[in-house]
Structure 1
């Protein structure tokens, strides 16, 4: 039987009296069919409230709450029943969700069933052991959706699936009701929406079935869980940047797009570069510096060569340069910090390696990372998504620039270019603070 799957941004028909057997209701996927347990052995997973926690089940390894369904109603924001504004940024995997304490609620923020369930879940989501995190209830996110039928807008009865999330942060806050001007306590959660890319941005609802099955251990109940959930449960908070949902930019390149075509002359050049510097990788920093100068200087700005750092003590920086942006009489100098990695052409440079350059940048500085290899998808996403001022030069771009340099300065003789580069290495190595390039 085809597994029941629900995709991010799918609009579902949520009708209270709908039969959980019907796959489609009124032209939309039936919410109750997608969330119904096998043989309908468990109560319906309802969305009548903002926070909908399923009943606890006791499995072979102890009690657990299977899931918490969160429903946000944007059209109610600012009303007495919903005086707060939830924020959904699904492209960057972040939701800011306010608890269900209201101005009329007596007691502390945990007095309502919804907030109480979230506080209990937070204790597990913030757990320091894999056991606690595995027991943590996943949060299924929905928001009310307006659809258009027969020329009219239908506000109620439809929800949009927004993914599955873990609690990244929980805060106690004080809000003010706009109608009564009364302040009241509440909680607000920062939720990390998990990446479901490996399953086509869909969630296999059999995972939720298994979590509600009291005959299964929590480990057995994870057999249909998203890989991002499993990674988070294993690694904890440190894994969140790697498992967070992010819409991949068109600027992200595959490994094939970052390398010369197989069997091409350019592929031979890349292999020659790697072989030439493989036994003297520090000298590759000289070539990387020259390539960076050509790329940045080709934008209309003026690039000034600086120096190479000493091997072993670079702290993530292999070369330093300066880029003067503007006209000769009116410009601003930018420090350029560069990193060079001579690796086997299909070797992937990960985000941790690129982060070493990012960590050294100050306001107004830019970075460059030059490699004979490729940059991993995650490394590219973090640079693009976080808008770090770092130029990534992959193996394919490196070859294009080197071929131009050889043609311009050495009559197309690549060997001559490489010999000159190696010969210049020793004379450019020094130990100076990067900011000194501003006065050079």
Structure 2
């Protein structure tokens, strides 16, 4: 019998796949935890690893799919995409296994076909159909003992919420290709002390166990999802209570890192070029809002004088028709030295400009002081703060997705696109567009 997979625990995934030792190199042995007598090993050899389907008395089911993300490969010719693991908010965005140069259809590669099959099962309309649905067990590779390979962190149990086709850059020639991307909801495992018991997967692998009995050892959130369906996901999603005040050091890239070099390059490029940096900040804010699932419309940059404390204007659309509304977004952009701090007074000046139904966004190459963040939280300011680390991370993502990883080309494209949208229009006019 196997053991339990705990969220956040790092496991040794050794090439020898020895199942007898409980610990290897000071870490729990993945192959020991997932050992099932008389059954094939659970593997993480590829990004998407589907266990073989079994034929039970009440039909066919796949016991589980093991997903592994390898951040150290992200941005390479083989793996040009960057998966997103937002474990605190129960969201993972995972890219499929189609690659540049493949002649087969995107949905027919082994990994995509496996996940699309699971997606169909996750959209089951009845509890009986969802009882056959395939659980996703998610891992990401981490570095330990000076090695980038051979260690994986368990990230939780997932359900596919959405699958979509998109165009990506990749390959040696930076050509485009079509792939799938999957939005996955991580389920709350609080009732199980953040663990998934291997007994559940063993039950699903046993052809002598029917779907109802195989469901009994499942985590509570999975059973609730099977019973109620996708409408229950908002209350079943994993949420982690975190301190909302971020340390200054955590808002800055590590000196000497490539991210630090990129941020320094951005600062030097835009120092003294106020409007150019505002255009960059507007594009980054748009990506942040859209990345969290909002419909965001970029508006315009304000003129150099008389901007009233706002540098750019945007709009968030919520819902549609009578069941929708729109929010004005006022943006402030500050290109400052990397060791500079934005104060509570500076944030308050932006907030003072907000009217009812408006929100603010502040974008800087620096960081936000802890007192400024505390005041924002205590006074419940409706403002989004984007620091230097987040700024460069989003710009890198835009460069990767649209410019083959060329940060300079990305910046030039953003500036070229913003040349004609500098105006002194009133912010509320964006609600009329």
Shift of 1:333: 9.0
Corresponding residue SS for 1:147? coil
Judged with a 3 Å threshold, the aligned counterparts in structure 2 of structure 1 residues 156 and 60 are, in CA distance, closer, same or farther, namely same
Corresponding residue SS for 1:163? strand
2:201 alignment counterpart:
208
Q: Is the 8 A contact 2:100 2:171 kept in 1?
A: no
1:223 alignment counterpart:
216
Corresponding residue SS for 2:130? helix
Distance 1:125 1:35 in 2: 24
Judged with a 3 Å threshold, the aligned counterparts in structure 2 of structure 1 residues 180 and 236 are, in CA distance, closer, same or farther, namely same
1:60 alignment counterpart:
57
Judged with a 3 Å threshold, the aligned counterparts in structure 2 of structure 1 residues 388 and 218 are, in CA distance, closer, same or farther, namely farther
2:165 alignment counterpart:
172
1:17 alignment counterpart:
16
Judged with a 3 Å threshold, the aligned counterparts in structure 2 of structure 1 residues 331 and 207 are, in CA distance, closer, same or farther, namely closer
1:292 alignment counterpart:
none
1:6 alignment counterpart:
5
2:181 alignment counterpart:
188
The normalised TM-score by structure 2 is 0.57
Q: Is the 8 A contact 2:121 2:129 kept in 1?
A: yes
2:418 alignment counterpart:
none
Judged with a 3 Å threshold, the aligned counterparts in structure 2 of structure 1 residues 146 and 129 are, in CA distance, closer, same or farther, namely same
2:237 alignment counterpart:
244
1:271 alignment counterpart:
none
| Mapping for residues 24-423 of structure 1, pairs under 5 Å | 24-37=23-36, 39=37, 41-148=38-145, 153-177=146-170, 179-249=172-242, 362-363=357-358
Cα deviations by residue, 1:375-418 (Å, 9 ceiling, x for unpaired): xxxxxxxxx9xx897xxxxxxxxxxxxxxxxxxxxxxxxxxxxx
Cα deviations by residue, 1:29-70 (Å, 9 ceiling, x for unpaired): 010011122x2x211111110000011101110110110000
Distance 1:98 1:333 in 2: 38
Q: Is the 8 A contact 1:78 1:178 kept in 2?
A: no
Distance 2:84 2:5 in 1: 22
Distance 1:250 1:332 in 2: 27
Shift of 1:232: 0.8
Distance 1:95 1:34 in 2: 24
Corresponding residue SS for 2:32? helix
Judged with a 3 Å threshold, the aligned counterparts in structure 2 of structure 1 residues 333 and 55 are, in CA distance, closer, same or farther, namely closer
Equivalent residue pairs, number:
260
Distance 2:116 2:51 in 1: 15
Distance 1:228 1:333 in 2: 40
Q: Please report the RMSD computed on the Cα atoms of aligned residues, expressed in angstroms.
A: 2.5
1:435 alignment counterpart:
none
Distance 1:116 1:126 in 2: 16
Shift of 1:112: 1.1
Judged with a 3 Å threshold, the aligned counterparts in structure 2 of structure 1 residues 235 and 22 are, in CA distance, closer, same or farther, namely same
Shift of 1:179: 3.1
Judged with a 3 Å threshold, the aligned counterparts in structure 2 of structure 1 residues 199 and 363 are, in CA distance, closer, same or farther, namely same
Distance 2:226 2:199 in 1: 18
Distance 1:181 1:97 in 2: 20
Cα deviations by residue, 1:116-136 (Å, 9 ceiling, x for unpaired): 111111111122222221111
Q: Which runs of 5+ in 2 are unaligned?
A: 245-347, 360-376, 383-433
Q: Is the 8 A contact 2:185 2:237 kept in 1?
A: yes
Distance 1:190 1:53 in 2: 18
Distance 2:52 2:198 in 1: 17
Corresponding residue SS for 2:240? coil
